[in-house]
Structure 1
Amino acid sequence: MAENQFGTFGCGNSDEFKEAVCIDAARIYDSCGDKDCLADLRVYFTDVTQPIIDTAYTVKAKNVDVASAYLSVEPVPFNKGFYSVDITYFFLVQLDAYTSPVNPPTAVCGLATANKKVILYGSEGSVKVFTNDQNEQDYIAPKYLPKARLQVAQPMLLSCDLCDCPEPNLDCCISVPNCVCKQFEGSFECVLPQRMVTVTIGLFSIIQLERQVQMMIPVYDFCIPDKECTTTSDSPCDIFEKIQFPVDQFFPPRIDDCSSDCGECGK
């Protein structure tokens, strides 16, 4: 433990139970994990990038990320305490479009969407919650539904295909939230594509239903930082001198090389 003018820092005796306190916390009533292979998702392009796709002879997948996700919760009829969680994914897909064998590719971004529905238990509740930070006098408390929470890992772009549209001048207009549109150059409205791109995305996710509840928990002591803050006035060169030489970047380890905390080789 560190000592300074304020005395000794530390969390005290963590084994000594002192009191029980009531806290307001989000309790998870139900959750599920899933591994989804979202096959043949159509990629939508704006009026700026669609002409590039129309003239491309091939495309190469680069990266995919979750631009946003919208969740809605509705009670399941005739099954009290259960709720359907509807999820709409918006994926930002990065591609390289090759329009000529002799020219470098053009980087383009497109939008893919996917829907998912799960049924989870969220218990029942009929109270209305009001707080003192509501400034509007005509505020109406929302229906007391459980809160849905979504966690997603970095998606994987498994495949990417370029093909002619099955219907010439097929209307590709889709409804896209403003927060997603801002991540793209151009507009998704009134785009008439001649060629289209489909992708397959692998996704790992965890969906939870939770409610705010009051819970009794044991308290052992206040948790006070056990070290002092450190400051430095070193020059950039002095800081650089403290950095270890990056041996692994110049000499990448072999598959049979193991460090002291890696366990057996090959694992």
Structure 2
Amino acid sequence: MPEKVMPGPVEDASGIREAVCIHTRKIYDSCRDKDCIEDLRFYPKLQYVDVINRALSVKGGCAHLLYVYVDVEPVSFNRGFYTVDMRFFYSVSLQAYLSSPVPVTVEGLCVFDKRVLLFGSEGNAKIFSSELRTGEPDLQMMRRANAPVAVVEAVDPIVLDARLMEGCGRRDCDCDLCEVPTFVNNCFDGELSSGDDSRRIYVTLGQFSIVRLERDSQLLIPVYDYCMPEKDCTCGTGGSCNEDPCSIFRNISFPVGEFFPPNTIRKNDDYEGAKFCGACGQ
């Protein structure tokens, strides 16, 4: 059995100089998802309600992820496991077609709820530090235990479909717009519809996300050397703050494809190609 490594200098042929203790967040569990979110309710801005009521059809445009609210709760029947509840808030732009062949861009909000179960271990130590803000309560002193921290990483979703429906029949997933954070509302230049419109739009989004549970830990890691930057500071990739713009232009390849359309169109089988083929002008 190898001898236990202790903090301090290390004699090692691979270049490790010493073993040091660091304080960081250790990932205990993680998962990734490729969600196809069908029939997600679209809450338009009030100024577009009349446009939607007169629209003949709608087509997908683009969507931007504004914010994800994350909550972590322990699972009582399974020690060390936690539920991670997430609420995604999206800004969605769609193309509404009236009698004119030119579509009208309508903007609104979509909300998606998601829950995952992950292992986060257990910890009952109460954490205190000297990072106390004057005149404000120390949130760390209010914690009952050292709970894991949930981290959600997500990219902007892809708008896969959009449909118009009459509002006479409510669906189980329908609800009036409520509990939207103020800063999310402020992202829209105007008031949002409350959800009681006569005609409704349902969109389908494709969402990629990664969820993980982290916990504060002390880890022993190998150190090779101090991390000294090797690159000099410059104003840009060219290395000069006042580089001739014509010189920059001369380094750009001639756009042959713009003058000679290809004989075939490559299928969008990756995220970048699928996301930027919508009607967002991108």
- TM tier relative to shorter chain: 0.7 to 0.9
Deviates more, 1:113-122 or 1:222-231: 222-231
Relative to structure 1, the CA distance from residue 56 to residue 95 in structure 2 (aligned partners, 3 Å threshold; closer, same or farther) is same
Alpha-carbon shift at residue 251 of structure 1 (Å): 4.6
Deviates more, 1:84-93 or 1:226-235: 226-235
Give yes or no for contact 2:164–2:202 (8 Å, CA) kept in 1.
Answer: yes
Letter in 1 for 2:113: N
Give yes or no for contact 1:174–1:188 (8 Å, CA) kept in 2.
Answer: no
1:207 maps onto 2:214 in alignment: no
Query: Within 2, Cα distance between the matches of 1:97 and 1:235?
Result: 45
Q: CA RMSD in A?
A: 2.7
Deviates more, 1:117-126 or 1:153-162: 153-162
Letter in 1 for 2:150: A
Relative to structure 1, the CA distance from residue 191 to residue 203 in structure 2 (aligned partners, 3 Å threshold; closer, same or farther) is closer
Secondary structure in 1 aligned to 2:214? strand
TM-score relative to the length of structure 2: 0.76
Relative to structure 1, the CA distance from residue 190 to residue 204 in structure 2 (aligned partners, 3 Å threshold; closer, same or farther) is closer
Relative to structure 1, the CA distance from residue 254 to residue 216 in structure 2 (aligned partners, 3 Å threshold; closer, same or farther) is farther
Counting only pairs closer than 5 Å after superposition, residues 39-188 of structure 1 correspond to structure 2 as 39-99=38-98, 101-102=99-100, 104-136=102-134, 138-141=137-140, 142-143=143-144, 144-166=146-168, 172-188=176-192
Alpha-carbon shift at residue 45 of structure 1 (Å): 1.6
Alpha-carbon shift at residue 186 of structure 1 (Å): 2.0
Alpha-carbon shift at residue 253 of structure 1 (Å): 6.6
Relative to structure 1, the CA distance from residue 252 to residue 127 in structure 2 (aligned partners, 3 Å threshold; closer, same or farther) is farther
What corresponds to 2:243 in structure 1?
A: 234
TM-score relative to the length of structure 1: 0.80
Query: Within 2, Cα distance between the matches of 1:213 and 1:163?
Result: 52
Query: Within 1, Cα distance between the matches of 2:88 and 2:198?
Result: 25
Query: Within 2, Cα distance between the matches of 1:240 and 1:246?
Result: 12
- For structure 1, list consecutive stretches of 5 or more residues without a partner in the other structure: 1-13, 256-267
Which string of whole-angstrom CA distances, capped at 9 and with x for unpartnered residues, describes residues 166-200 of structure 1?
259x9843221112111213223656411000111
Alpha-carbon shift at residue 150 of structure 1 (Å): 1.1
Give yes or no for contact 2:91–2:107 (8 Å, CA) kept in 1.
Answer: yes
What corresponds to 1:5 in structure 2?
A: none
Query: Within 2, Cα distance between the matches of 1:158 and 1:172?
Result: 24
Secondary structure in 2 aligned to 1:48? helix
Query: Within 1, Cα distance between the matches of 2:52 and 2:193?
Result: 16
Give yes or no for contact 1:162–1:196 (8 Å, CA) kept in 2.
Answer: yes
Give yes or no for contact 2:168–2:198 (8 Å, CA) kept in 1.
Answer: no
Deviates more, 1:235-244 or 1:87-96: 235-244
Query: Within 2, Cα distance between the matches of 1:244 and 1:98?
Result: 39
Query: Within 1, Cα distance between the matches of 2:224 and 2:177?
Result: 58
Alpha-carbon shift at residue 103 of structure 1 (Å): 5.4
Query: Within 2, Cα distance between the matches of 1:172 and 1:52?
Result: 20
Alpha-carbon shift at residue 126 of structure 1 (Å): 1.6
- For structure 2, list consecutive stretches of 5 or more residues without a partner in the other structure: 1-12, 265-282
Deviates more, 1:180-189 or 1:38-47: 180-189
Secondary structure in 2 aligned to 1:54? helix
Letter in 2 for 1:214: Q
Alpha-carbon shift at residue 246 of structure 1 (Å): 3.4
Which string of whole-angstrom CA distances, capped at 9 and with x for unpartnered residues, describes residues 3-26 of structure 1?
xxxxxxxxxxx9421111111111
